[in-house]
Amino acid sequence: MAQSRTFTAIIDQDRVVVVEYRQEKAGFRVIDTRVETRRFSTPEAVADVVIQILGEMSAKRVSLSIVLQHFGSFFHTMLLPAASDDVVRPIILREIQRSFNITDPVVAFVVPGTSDRREPPREAGGLSPKQVLVAGAPQPVVAALHARLTKARIHVEGLTVMPEVFRHLYSALDGSTEATAMLVCLANGPHLAFFVDGSLELAIDPPLALDGEAPLDTAMIVDQIESGAIFLRQQSRGTVATRLLLSAPAEDYDRLSSTIEARTGMHVAPLGGAVGSPEMVVAMGAVLAARESIRLDLFPRAPTLNARIRSATTGPSAIMTVVLAAAAVAVFWAATQFSGLIRTKRDLVRVQHLVEQGLPAVTEMRQSADGRKRIAGIRSSLAFSVEERRRMGDLLLSLTESPSPGARFDSLSVERVSDGWKTTVFGQAAGASGSAAVSAATGLYHHLQQRSPKLKNLDFQINSYVQTPPADSANRTAVDQLFFTITFVAPGPAQP
């Protein structure tokens, strides 16, 4: 994977400077510088030029620090009571909207420290006001730069304004607590800043250059320094800058230095002389600014994970978090239930398919079983019929096997009932005496009783007696005759 290359871009509406540098142990080494000078009417055009220059420099993986001038960018200092950022931010936004007439600014602010010049000092427990450094730009400008550079896969380390660069340059290259002015003469004019107690107190943009006027006119520069010094005295309780750090093109440095010393009485010292031209100095300042933890960075950053969690779980946003979390859980649960439903339905369809596949076989089995049952029915019905005939014949034979010679049947009646054959036998018996006749009659009864012990309701009744005189007068013996009835139910075969 190609190594990341580092660049700084100083963007102006008339000029784009792209500096490639490499960080080394002793500092930064400038590798290449490209300049494009023409009027850029939109931030998109500036961004496209930066991308084009980087493309011409064959930069693939780019890490870029940007210093933005013009396009509505601004720098402002405010004194505000000590408060948290949540409280301070809306105050700053209202102040910026009121002062700079920008309805939708992108604002970055830092609070370097307290700034209390009150005499006498505050009582114990009193909170000192804080000086707030504010940088900003119209939201569409920042959004355009963000969109173009992000699309070109350029990593932007920082997007800041010129006074923030001066602040870090002063801190890195000088850092004196003495009231000091800093003058950086860029191609678009002199940039002036004042530091008191090591902190940035005042920053002044270059005045508008009229047509034909040299941007680095000595008289104009001196006037600007004098005006700035007066404003510093007014704002900072009479503070007077006694020294000036100057970064100017080499051909102008001596002239400017001697004139400033002569006109203002300030001691002039070079600023970043070893770095090179003022644009190189600013570029290095931009790098320093981009790598500080407390800085004015206008480039939109995705909030950190902790910040996102804190934002999502505090205040009214927690409502949304809870609702969305509950919705996500509900969706997950519903998806689980739905997948369970699909699975159950699939199982059901599978089992139904199995049963449907088996049904034709069942039909065949049922037909076969019906056939077997039918055959079994035929067989048992035939067997029943045969058994019925056998028992009927047996019944009739049992009646003819009566061992009693004196008894005989007169008539016989058999009727089919549910448990067999209800049989009624009418007969007569004769004997030399009444007892002999009864013995003859009951002999049949006993014969039936012994031969067929399973007979039910076996009954014997004597209907009448008749005494018959002897037919032969020589034989004087009379004959006793009786009529009897035997009833019983002969069991039939068991029903199949």
Partner 1 sequence: MSTFSDSLRRWRTERPNQLLAVGVGLFVLVAAGAVGLRARSASAELSERATAWQQTANQLATLQQQFRVPSSSESSRLIAESARMGALGVPPSERVSLLEFLTRLADAAKLSEVRVNVRAGTDSAFIPPRSIGTGPVNPAAYSVTVDFTGSFAGLVQFVSNLPPSVSVSRLGAARSLGHTAYHVGLSVYELPNGDTAG
Stretch that binds partner 1, among 290-298, 299-307, 329-337, 442-450 (CB under 8 A): 329-337
Is residue 347 part of the contact set for partner 1 (CB under 8 A)? yes
Query: Cα(first)–Cα(last) distance of the chain, in Å?
Result: 96
Stretch that binds partner 1, among 35-43, 228-236, 375-383, 455-463 (CB under 8 A): 375-383
Q: Select 263 or 447, whichever has its Cβ closest to partner 1.
A: 447
Q: Select 307 or 354, whichever has its Cβ closest to partner 1.
A: 354
Name every residue whose Cβ is closer than 8 Å to that of residue 101 and which is 6 or more positions away in sequence: none
Smallest distance from the beta carbon of 82 to partner 1, in angstroms?
A: 17
Is residue 303 part of the contact set for partner 1 (CB under 8 A)? no
- How many alpha carbons fall within 13 Å on the CB side of residue 307? 4
Is residue 333 part of the contact set for partner 1 (CB under 8 A)? yes
**What is the C-alpha separation between 323 and 436, in angstroms, rounded?**
117
Is residue 337 part of the contact set for partner 1 (CB under 8 A)? yes
| Site for partner 1, residues 379 to 418, rule: CB under 8 A | 379, 381-382, 384-386, 388-390, 392-393, 396-397, 400, 408-418
Find the binder of partner 1 among 56, 104, 223, 370 (CB under 8 A): 370
- 183 touches 281 (CB < 8 A): no
- 415 touches 421 (CB < 8 A): yes
- 157 touches 293 (CB < 8 A): no
Smallest distance from the beta carbon of 352 to partner 1, in angstroms?
A: 6
Find the binder of partner 1 among 219, 319, 471, 474 (CB under 8 A): 319
- 183 touches 221 (CB < 8 A): yes
The helix (H) or strand (E) run that includes residue 285 is helix 278-290
Is residue 457 part of the contact set for partner 1 (CB under 8 A)? no
Q: Select 250 or 397, whichever has its Cβ closest to partner 1.
A: 397
Compute φ and ψ for 364, nearest 5 degrees.
-65, -40
Is residue 362 part of the contact set for partner 1 (CB under 8 A)? yes
Is residue 375 part of the contact set for partner 1 (CB under 8 A)? yes
The region that residue 70 occupies, defined by phi over 0 for left and psi between -120 and 50 for alpha, beta otherwise, is: left
Is residue 89 part of the contact set for partner 1 (CB under 8 A)? no
Q: Select 276 or 493, whichever has its Cβ closest to partner 1.
A: 493
Helices then strands, each counted (H, E), the chain:
10, 17
- 33 touches 18 (CB < 8 A): yes
What are the distances in angstroms from CA 417 to CA 54, 182, 394, 414? 121, 139, 17, 9
Residues that bind partner 1 (CB under 8 A): 315-317, 319-320, 323-324, 326-327, 330-331, 333-334, 336-338, 340-341, 344-345, 347-348, 351-352, 354-355, 358, 361-362, 365, 368, 370-375, 377-379, 381-382, 384-386, 388-390, 392-393, 396-397, 400, 408-418, 421, 492, 495
